[in-house]
């Protein structure tokens, strides 16, 4: 493999790392800087997935790194808004409920002894949740007050993510 091909192979992972690092831009209180961070997150999230799938550059590292960087970005930015008093702890927990459901699912896999056999993949409701989270961060950055019902929506998306993960597991069991 040439060095150019090797670089191209890790490009999606580099984009994921850039997304995670861009979260630190939320330490700057300027709206324009925070908007730039969100734009970087949106573009890198789209590009890393597109490149990995389109050019068959999917790696085990990338399948773990991509969602971790998504979660880090959202959690870091939301924590900044929590510290600034623009988001309360209950809203933060609702915002990350998908990730809490993901932890419950991982615990279920571990208890069941299925952890090593489970094939981790992106899920539809997880992607919808990430876009919603980024849009909420955009609204908070623009000093918009989100309606309380929006946070109930994040709880619902978390539950749908859990159901999608679980149904994927039961489908695997039936295919055996």
Q: If DSSP codes are grouped into helix, strand and coil, which group holds residue 95?
A: helix
Domain range list for the chain: 3-175
What is the dihedral sign for C-alpha 29, 30, 33, 34? positive
Count of H-run helices and E-run strands, the chain: 7, 0
What is the dihedral sign for C-alpha 151, 123, 70, 132? negative
> Along the 176 residues of the chain, how does pLDDT read in single tens digits?
555 556 567 899 999 999 999 999 999 999 999 999 999 999 999 999 899 889 988 888 888 899 999 999 999 999 999 999 999 999 999 999 999 999 999 999 999 988 888 877 788 999 899 999 999 999 999 999 999 999 999 999 999 999 999 888 765 555 55
Contact indicator for 76, 23 with CB cutoff of 8 Å: yes
Task: Tell me the Cα Rg of the chain.
Answer: 17
Q: Name the token pair of 162.
A: 């859990």
Contact indicator for 161, 101 with CB cutoff of 8 Å: yes
Alpha-carbon distance of 96 to 92, in angstroms, equals 6
The CATH class of the 3-175 domain is mainly alpha
CB atoms within 10 A of CB 81: 20
């Amino acid at each position: 493999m040439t060095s150019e091909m090797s670089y191209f192979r890790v490009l999606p992972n580099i984009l994921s790392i850039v997304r995670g690092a861009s979260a630190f831009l939320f330490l700057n209180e300027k709206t324009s800087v925070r908007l730039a961070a969100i734009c970087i997150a949106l573009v890198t999230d789209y590009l890393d997935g597109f490149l990995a799938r389109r050019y068959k550059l999917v790696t085990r590292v990338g399948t773990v790194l991509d969602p971790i960087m998504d979660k880090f970005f959202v959690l870091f930015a939301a924590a900044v808004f929590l510290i600034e008093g623009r988001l309360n702890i209950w809203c933060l927990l609702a915002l990350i409920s998908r990730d809490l459901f993901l932890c419950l699912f991982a615990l279920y896999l571990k208890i069941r002894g299925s952890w090593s056999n489970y094939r981790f993949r992106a899920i539809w409701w997880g992607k919808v949740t990430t876009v919603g989270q980024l849009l909420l961060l955009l609204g908070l950055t623009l000093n918009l007050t989100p309606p309380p019902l929006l946070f109930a929506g994040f709880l619902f998306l978390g539950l749908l993510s859990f159901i999608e993960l679980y149904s994927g597991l039961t489908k695997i069991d039936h295919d055996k």
